[in-house]
Amino acid sequence: MKYISTRGQSKPLSFSEILLGGLAPDGGLYLPEHYPKFSYDDLNSMRSMNYPTLAFHIISKFVDDIPENDLKEIINKTYTKDVYAYSRKEQKAEDITPILKIKDNLYILSLSNGPTLAFKDIAMQLLGNLFEYVLVKKNKEINILGATSGDTGSAAEYAMRGKKGINVFMLSPYQKMSRFQTAQMFSIQDANIFNLSIKGVFDDCQDIVKAVSNDLNFKKDFKIGAVNSINWGRILAQIVYYFKGYFAVTEKNEEISFTVPTGNFGNICAGHIARMMGLPIKRLVVATNENNVLDEFFKAGIYKPRDAKNTLHTSSPSMDISKASNLERFIFDLIGRDDKKLNLLWQSVDQGGDFNLNQEGFFEKIKDFGFISSSSTHKERIHFIKEIYSQYSIMIDTHTADGFKAAFEHAESNVPMVILETALPIKFEDYIVEAIGKKPERPKSLMYIEDLPQRFEVLNNQTEEVKAFIRQNV
Ligand SMILES: *Cc1c(COP(=O)(O)O)cnc(C)c1O
């Protein structure tokens, strides 16, 4: 299996060759040259597999340069009930992504039972183990540099802590994360994890990461890498739980729909690929918040990203994204994998412009791929958190509440709808209190996390200070 770039100007490469990188050299995103397909009978044979067995069955179709037994071992140690230890009392932790029935034909797929209580753990934990394996094999090292406003950074740190050949330098805005998020990241004591608290806002952190990465000599000398959401390994890991969730709510391969709270389009892109592989998905519902660039695109066929100034800070902050990198992967499939056409579309996007798919009939084709969309407001999220708690005694977080809004809008009475739970309510305590007047329950292991000793460095908002810190610590 080779991987090709959506822009068509990069050499096709194998899985291990693209694993550690981000963008392809031509600026595109990697995709497998074709999608493996599962038949009706294949699906039946996969139906009763446990999570790691299912994960190996799917992932091994995309990886042909890691020996099967090694891949199996990596997957088996990633998806254990000790790593995904949190689960609601109706659920079993060994399901890794257990299902929760809300009512007939409405379910939550719990993706947030890992160490940082958000769905990014599912992919990042696998990435940590794959990175370590590939780096040790090649006798190489990598220094991961990233910026975070909360979720991504902690998922990366928990995945990479203590891993051979890997250091993590994670920039976050000084005193701007919630107390819980801060404690989650800064209480990590492993020597290979460096929390750099920058006197600025999140965009400043991101600008520093860009400036360091654009210094090609520094990047090469200090082996700077990234684990951002365009990484193919993250998408690949996420395909698995669409199958797991599907089998949990069906009996004989009937069609179901998924609703996915969306930011960078990574999670739902994995759903699109699962569908292309033959999983009977009727609809993929894109749920956005007030930052509704994707809702606009799926409703009108016009993709018009916004800049940071026009991106709102909302109560579902992990979806405050107005340029959805992974959309490029879907558009590539939508336009029949025509890389010349794709280059034209993104020429406009990369220059701060937009594109319109109505002119050549591509917009019409979107429905053949199952996509449909919705957006929500803060008031609607609070309403759904309150409603779901009062009717079913289930607490949901603000991102999952975006999902409920969209799911209720698009649910069909005879098609099961599965909403992906992308974070646990505990991560966004203040909004839960706003909605229902009480705090969500905490997993025991995180009960006193704010009291643990913290390990972080405060730096000025200056690229040179970050570079100097990296120089001194690798
Ligand atoms: C990252 C994140 C999202 C958005 O996921 P994408 O893959 O970027 O679409 C949604 N909810 C939560 C809680 C997240 O952390």
117 C-alpha to ligand 1 centroid (Å) = 12
Instruction: Report how far residue 314's alpha carbon sits from residue 219's, in angstroms, rounded to the nearest whole number.
Output: 34
285 C-alpha to ligand 1 centroid (Å) = 14
Q: Residue 40 phi/psi, 5° resolution? A: -55, -45
- Tracing tokens 């749920």 back to the chain, one arrives at 287
Ligand 1 atom with the smallest distance to the CA of 268 is: 9
172 C-alpha to ligand 1 centroid (Å) = 18
Among protein residues, the one with the nearest Cα to ligand 1's atom 4 is 263
Q: Which of 120, 124, 269, 319 to mutate to test the pocket of ligand 1 (most atoms within 8 A of CB)?
A: 319
Task: For residue 178, give both structure tokens.
Answer: 């919630």
Let me know: does 293 contact 299? Beta carbons within 8 Å: no
Let me know: does 310 contact 319? Beta carbons within 8 Å: no
Q: Which of 318, 325, 427 to mutate to test the pocket of ligand 1 (most atoms within 8 A of CB)?
A: 318
312 C-alpha to ligand 1 centroid (Å) = 16
**According to CATH, what is the number of the domain 93-117+233-436?**
3.40.50.1100
263 C-alpha to ligand 1 centroid (Å) = 5
Q: Looking at the whole model, is its pTM more than 0.85?
A: yes
List residues near ligand 1 (CB under 6 A): 118, 120, 151, 229, 261-267, 318-319, 399, 422-423
* Per-residue pLDDT tens digits of the chain, which is 474 residues long: 999 999 999 999 999 999 988 789 898 999 999 999 999 999 999 999 999 999 999 999 999 999 999 999 999 999 999 999 988 988 999 999 999 999 999 999 999 999 999 999 999 999 999 999 999 999 999 999 999 877 789 999 999 999 999 999 999 999 888 888 899 999 999 999 999 999 988 888 988 998 998 898 999 999 998 888 889 999 999 999 999 999 999 999 999 999 999 999 999 999 999 999 999 999 999 999 999 999 999 999 999 999 888 889 899 988 988 889 999 999 999 999 999 999 999 999 989 899 999 988 899 999 999 999 999 999 999 999 999 999 999 999 999 999 999 999 999 999 999 999 999 999 898 999 999 999 998 888 888 999 999 999 999 999 999 999 999 999
Q: In the chain, where are the structural domains located?
A: 93-117+233-436
Ligand 1 atom with the smallest distance to the CA of 112 is: 13
The half-sphere exposure of 46 on its side-chain side, counting CA atoms within 13 A, is 28
Q: Which of 148, 262, 265, 328 to mutate to test the pocket of ligand 1 (most atoms within 8 A of CB)?
A: 262
Among protein residues, the one with the nearest Cα to ligand 1's atom 14 is 318
Q: 2, 81, 101, 120: which is the annotated catalytic residue?
A: 120
77 is catalytic: no
Distances (CA, A) of 362 to 109, 287, 300, 350, 358: 31, 21, 11, 20, 6
